[in-house]
Each structure stands twice: as C-alpha cells, then as structure tokens.
Structure 1
Amino acid sequence: MDDLADRIAALTFSGLTQEQVTALVIDTVAGWGEAQGWRVYRRAPSVMRLPPPMERQHSVLDVALARPAAPPIVVEVDHTDRRRTVEKLLAEAEEGRIPIWVRWGPGRIAEAPPPIHVIALHVTRHQGRYSRNDLPAPEHSARSGLPSEAAELPLPASEHSARRGQ
C-alpha cells in the first residue's frame, strides 16, 4: 500500500472542483490496481446497507480491488471526515477486506480507527477550487556581476533630485 500512497502523493493539479479532484484520485487508485494486474471495480456494492428509507439497498465503495490469493482491498475517497465512511470501512474489514480511506482536503486530516489505513492528500483551496502544486520553485536568474549601490529609502528630496539628474 506504500506504492499507492506514493502515487497519490505524486499527484499535482490546479484549479479543480471537488468532483474533479475526487474523480482524479479514484482514477489513480483504479490505475494502481490495474497496474498490479488485479480486477478493479468502481462503485462496488458494500456489505453495509443504506440508512432508512433505502435500507434494502447496499451502500457503494468508490473502488474495490480483487487480488488473487490475498484479501480484497476496498477504497473510499472523501474530502471530509464522514462517520458513515468509517462505519462502512469497519464493516468491510469485519468481512476480511483491507480498508483504505483516501482523505483529501486543506487543513487537518483526522486519523481513522484501526484497521483502516488513511492516505492523506493535502491540497490548497482558493475560490472554491483545489490545487496541489508540488513543483520546485523556479531558479533565480544569475546576478549580472555588476556592482550595485544600496540606498536607504525614502531618499531625502535633495538626494532624490540629484540622482534623477544623473
């Protein structure tokens, strides 16, 4: 699961909506599972039922990964801390699945109770859009090598006038 965390940590984007970020993370999880050669199911049925009045229907998981000779992995992707997500992942763990909660957003990301694995994706938010730009800072241009004269500001009026005339 460290390699999934590494893939998610490597994501960079700018100006995406909440839905776009969630879709990008889900696509990343699904791509990771496919790269492992596992069967990938999006919006897979959960063992947990929906609350009334829809209690006859099952909740869904963002991604479920079926692995040969290993327990399935179930993944939920959320931008907020949701008690229902914790309950759903704990129910999945009771059935022998490995639960992963990819939590993304600005600010503090809460821990989840064991055995839920949390992968945190910290983002910034500006005007309702989300970004994650971990690009290196640009290099500064090389100095020209010309000496420069430091002047204390503000300049006295007489000195300022004399410099303008130069």
Structure 2
Amino acid sequence: MDDLEAWLARLTFADLTQDEVTTRIIDAVAAWGEAQGWRVYRRAPSVVTLPPPMDKQHSVLDVALARPGAPPIVVEIDHTDRKRTLEKLRAEAEAGRVPLWVRWGPGRFTDPPAPIRMVPLPVTRHQGRYSRTTEPDRPAPAHSPTAPATAEVTELPW
C-alpha cells in the first residue's frame, strides 16, 4: 500500500472545509484504485451493523476496492481518531479484507493496531480551513552580512 501513500503524497488543496477535504481524499483513493484497474465502490456496505435502533442496517466504508486474485481493500478516511473506525476496520480484517485508514489532519498520528495500516496525510489548518502543499517549507531568508548604515537624526520643526 506504499503506492497509495505515494499517490496521496501528490495531493494538494487550499482553503477547504473538513467535508471538502474528506471528499477530495475519497476521490483520490478512488482514482488510485481505478488506475490499478480495480473495481471501486464508494460507500460500500461494511460487515459491521449500525448500533440500535438501526442494527438491521450495515455501516458503510468510504471506499472498497475489489482486486482480481487478491483480497479486497477497504479504506476509511478520517480527520480524527475514532474508536468506531478502528472497530470497523478490525471487523473488515477478520472478514478477510485488507484494512487501510487514511488519517488526515494537522496533528500527530498514532499508528493503529495491526492489521490496520495507516496512511497519514498531514495538512495545515488556518481559521477552520485546511490546506496541503507538496512544496517543502521555505527557509527564512539569509540576513545581510553587513550592518545597516547609520544616519544622523534631525529634529523636524513644529
């Protein structure tokens, strides 16, 4: 899944809301799966049911990828650590699927327990909006090696 991490490393955006970022990442994951020649399912049913009173319905996965001759890949995309996401991905792994968690945000990321694999996607946040650039941070400009020139102070008449 290193190639998904490399694919997402090229993802850039500026001044997006939380929902817009999540949608952009879902689109990128789906495009990655399509580029591999796999079948892509958005909002695919999970093996996990919803909590009561909706326990007859199944939770959904952000993206599921069907691969010929290999187990399906299931992907959840979150900007926070969610216990329910980990429980869902663990259940998917127990059902024979490869669980990936694309975790985005401005903070630190803690690796999930095996067999869940995290794909971290750091972003910056400013005034409730999110941005991501692939350009390295630019260093501060170098200071001039010479001291500034001195000038004589003249009082102005009032």
Answer yes or no: same fold by TM over 0.5.
yes
- Counterpart check, 1:69 vs 2:69: yes
Superposition map of 1:1-166 within 5 A: 1-136=1-136, 150-151=147-148, 159-161=152-154
Pair 119,16 (structure 1): closer, same or farther in 2 beyond 3 Å = same
The count of corresponding residues between Structure 1 and Structure 2 is 151
Amino acid at match of 1:160: V
User: Post-superposition shift, 1:10?
Assistant: 1.4
| Bigger radius of gyration among the two | 1
Contact 2:106 2:122 in 1 (8 A): yes
* CA RMSD, Structure 1 to Structure 2 (Å): 2.2
In structure 2, list runs of 5 or more residues that go unmatched: 140-144
User: Post-superposition shift, 1:150?
Assistant: 3.1
Percentage of matched positions with identical amino acids = 66
Q: Secondary structure at the match of 1:160?
A: coil
Q: Show structure 1 runs of 4+ deviating over 2 A.
A: 134-139, 148-152
Q: Distance in 2 between matches of 1:16 and 1:124?
A: 11
**TM-score calculated relative to the size of structure 1:** 0.84
User: Post-superposition shift, 1:160?
Assistant: 3.3
Name the counterpart of 1:145: none
Amino acid at match of 1:150: A
Partner deviation per Cα, 1:34-84 (whole Å, 9 max, x = no partner): 011100000000000001111000000000000000000000000000000
